[in-house]
Amino acid sequence: MLNVKKVVIPAAGLGTRFLPATKASPKEMLTVVDKPLIQFAAEEALDAGIKELIFIVGRNKNVIEDHFGKSSELESELEKKNKTESLELLKQVVPEGVTCAYIRQAEPLGLGHAVLCAASAIKDENFAVLLPDDLVKSESRGCLKQMLEEFEEGIDAILAVEKISLSESEKYGIVDPGTQRGRVIDVNGILEKPLAKDAASDYGVVGRYIFTPKILSFLRDLPAGAGNEIQLTDGIASLISNSKVKAYEFEGVRYDCGSKLGFLKANVDYAVEHPIIGSEFRNWLKGRTQ
């Protein structure tokens, strides 16, 4: 297992699908029950032992910085009122030893461009990329941790994948798979958002990646691709030509929180398991579906 200390968390999209909720607040701050998507992302990285968080932020950057920053006023209010549980929750947002950096992506030029914006912070180290609107709920180890266990010497990238319906191929990076051993699959090629007839398989990429720094040089010279954006997928396609790239079929359920339906499903699934409101919510839900 190779060492990975940094994670890039892109959060500079326009969030147009969630307007007006995202007019003044980034879509990554939308909450699943009581926790913003971006905090789920940070927690998944921490679960994988990654403690340097690099956020790529756009126009509503302050909200994200405030969320991960210290809130002295709120803390002292909670202390005064003896609200120890709430205070503890606040402190857990950024545990000891975790650092946060914020890099501005002035224009939403694509995921490849967002990753490239982090180049000066990544330097020549391995790094992960975690897209907050793909929420993965897993029983034991988080998705990134599972992938990290497979990130070995000789591999330059590992991507999370899951089987998708081919009618939705235009929403995903689709891999051309080679040999599969357990959950690990060789990747022979990758295409961003192909038509179903051009898709090499029904393995769609989910927003979790681990890279050696080699990918950065491939992203630098990339022309705009699908959707006229600089696509991470195109950088990976170039990387494949001289490096080993693997896909990992993770264990867990993925919610597409970039869509209203996926976001609502996540809210329901997390709500029914919530330690405080779970049982009452389950009862209410039963009553509604009868």
Residues of this chain that interact with ligand G1P (CB under 6 A) are 111, 131, 134, 172-173, 192, 204-207, 231-233, 258
| Amino acid type, 100 | C
Q: Write down the least CB distance from residue 78 to ligand G1P, Å.
A: 36
Nearer to ligand G1P, 172 or 270 (CB): 172
Nearer to ligand G1P, 52 or 256 (CB): 256
Nearer to ligand G1P, 54 or 164 (CB): 164
Q: Which residue in the shown chain puts its C-beta closest to ligand G1P?
A: 173
Structure tokens at 160: 């999370």
Structure tokens at 249: 């079929």
Say how many C-beta atoms besides its own lie within 10 A of residue 166's C-beta: 16
Q: Write down the least CB distance from residue 205 to ligand G1P, Å.
A: 4
CA atoms within 13 A on the CB side of 276: 3
Kindly report whether the peptide bond that precedes residue 132 is cis, defined as omega within 30 degrees of 0.
Answer: no
> Which residues lie closer than 8 Å to 87 by C-beta, 6 or more apart?
75, 78, 79
Structure tokens at 33: 């029950």
Q: Write down the least CB distance from residue 211 to ligand G1P, Å.
A: 14
Nearer to ligand G1P, 36 or 225 (CB): 225
For the packed helices 72-80 and 84-93, what is the interaxial angle rounded to 10 degrees? 160
| Amino acid type, 284 | W
Q: Write down the least CB distance from residue 97 to ligand G1P, Å.
A: 29
d(CA 248, CA 140): 16
Q: Write down the least CB distance from residue 44 to ligand G1P, Å.
A: 14
Nearer to ligand G1P, 78 or 142 (CB): 142
